[in-house]
Amino acid sequence: MSTVGAPALLEGLIERLAARLRDALRRARRTGAPVLASASAPWPGVHDPLAIARASRRTGEPWFYLEQPARQGAALAALGCVRELAAVGEGRFGALAAAWRELSAGALCDEPAGPAGAGLVALGGFAFHPSGGGSAAWDGFPPASLIVPELALARRADQTWLTLALEVAPDDTGEDLLARAARRLRELREAPLPLLDPAPTGRHRVLSPIPPAHYEEAVARALELIAAGELEKIVLAREVEVHAPADYEAGALLGVLREAFDECFVFAVGRGEAALIGASPELLVRREGQRAATVALAGSARRSADPAVDDHLGERLLRSDKDREENAIVARRIARALRPHALWVTTAAEPALVRIANIQHLATPIRAQLAQPLDAVTLAGLLHPTPAVGGEPPARAEKLIPALEGLDRGWYAGGIGWVDQAGDGEFCVALRCALLRGRLARCYAGCGIVRDSEPSAELAETEIKLGALLPLLAG
């Protein structure tokens, strides 16, 4: 393990922060209300935000990590909590967006610079259902929650930026604030990620809280509703538990995931002693200025180690009426949701194949030029849940999903991401994920059910999707 902050960098960042803190103290004492202050600086050299976050985390503090390795190593990692924004219910996205606009508008920060995510940000995620996960398993993961971190690291290609934020109260002193900032920076460490134990002592137990046969029955019931005209599509998920002989190490698992799934969004949201980790292939929304980008990802097939067989499976997926219909339902709804807020929306004429380590999907890119400056949180609320994780029509599907599945989705099939002061940001869909708590991992995977679905085939597809994490979690 080594300290990562070069003295010149740390001194420069403290110097920049000192100026912000002086102004923040004056405002806080004048208004009687706390003020956010932050400073950012480029960090020369090659750095791994995940390794730094893991090595520098204080016991029990919240942490965050999001990386898409194939996109020039784009990564954002964060530690600590200066302020948490939380909301519940149907209006949770609007409430979060408004709270962030008000908070960030009053913050004293450096001018935006560096890669996406550099500077003052709020990051976290939201549950699938407006009321969130009600079970004890999802304790610490509210229906919608964004945290303004104390320390954030943003990287793209060979650029890494460090941001430090503090909340300044009227009765604070400049000396105490600077001492707190310096202490946090001195704690920065970078250590290699731990390796997974290739031969763990003890046995792993893999359990299905609800028998697989129940999933096939749920699919069969959904097909009856589709045939009766009550639904066009519905996504049904399964939960699998893995009981390990020792506590899971999130850093080791994430290190493997980003190597194996470099095209995906590899993510972690840590709250208390729990962490939601995953490798999601699906972008919910990315907002850059007045442009919004998303993707309709639906329709799946397995991969093969034989290139000829793999190509055949991909071609068959591209020609599958069932899978193309599933993808088209998602694309139509996304475009319909964006049009009232956009000057134009473009949808690719044909879906393309997206291949990741153990599965391939049909993907239809969708882009929009916004007519008004909607922020990333608001856009996420407009699109969530897409039919790729919910159903069509949405209101009917969302009522049926809990009854048919019989599980608490929590943040599974919700969203993970961030937003900055300008409203730019991105959220991925929380798929191919596991909730870690001590020695227990809860894994989730779901499939889209349309009129030509077959219960046994859908069950087999969940096994393929669970294959992203189960081999790592079960030793």
What's the CA gap between 52 and 55, in Å, rounded? 5
Between 310 and 45, residue with greater pLDDT: 310
Q: Looking at residue 4, what is its pLDDT? A: 58
Tokens of 351: 């879906």
Q: Which residues have a Cβ under 8 Å from the Cβ of 92 and sit 6 or more positions away?
A: 126, 130, 143, 144, 381
Name the DSSP letter for residue 454.
-
pTM for the predicted model, two decimal places? 0.95
Query: Which pLDDT belongs to residue 15?
Result: 86
**At 331, which helix (H) or strand (E)?**
helix 321-338
pLDDT digit string, tens, across residues 223-247: 999 999 999 999 999 999 999 999 9
Tokens 């937003």 -> residue:
419
- What are 448-471's pLDDT values in tens digits? 999 989 999 999 999 999 988 999
Query: What per-residue confidence (pLDDT) applies to 347?
Result: 96
The string of DSSP codes covering 137-164 is GGTT--SEEEEE-SEEEEEETTEEEEEE
**357: Cα separation from own chain's centroid:** 19
Share of the chain above pLDDT 70, in %: 98
Question: In the prediction, which pLDDT does 199 show?
Answer: 72
Name the residue among 353, 248, 261 with its Cα closest to residue 299.
Answer: 353
79 with 53: CB under 8 angstroms? yes
Mean pLDDT for the stretch of residues 126-142: 92
Q: Return all residues near 60 (Cβ < 8 A) that are at least 6 apart.
A: 272, 273
Tokens of 464: 């393929």
Active-site position among 150, 239, 282, 426 = 282
Give the 3-state secondary structure of residue 99.
helix
Q: The tokens of 352 are what?
A: 């393309």
Half-sphere exposure at residue 269, Cβ-oriented, CA atoms within 13 angstroms:
31
282 and 448 Cβ atoms separated by less than 8 Å: no
What is the spatial distance between Cα 368 and Cα 293, in angstroms, rounded to a whole number?
6
Amino acid letter, residue 142: P
Identify whether 150 is a catalytic site residue.
Answer: no
Point out the catalytic residue in the list 232, 233, 239, 405.
233
CB burial of residue 286 (10 Å; 0-12, 13-18, 19+): buried
Task: State the Cα–Cα distance between residues 132 and 144, nearest whole angstrom.
Answer: 8
Q: Report whether pLDDT(134) > 90.
A: no
Supply the DSSP string of 103-119, one letter for each residue.
HHHT-B-PPP-SSTT-S
Question: Are 73 and 277 a contacting pair, CB within 8 Å?
Answer: no
Side chain identity, residue 172: D
Segment 270-308, tens digit of pLDDT: 999 999 999 999 999 999 999 999 999 998 989 999 999
Amino acid letter, 265: F
Residues in the chain: 475
Q: What is the mean pLDDT of residues 28-35?
A: 95
DSSP assignment of 381-424, as one string? HHHPSPTTTSEESHHHHHHHHHHHH-S--TTTTSEEEEEETTS-
pLDDT of residue 5: 55
The confidence score (pLDDT) of residue 1 equals: 55
Residue 84 annotated in active site: no
Rounded to an integer, what distance in angstroms lies between the CA atom of residue 416 and that of residue 425?
11
Which amino acid belongs to residue 59? Answer: T
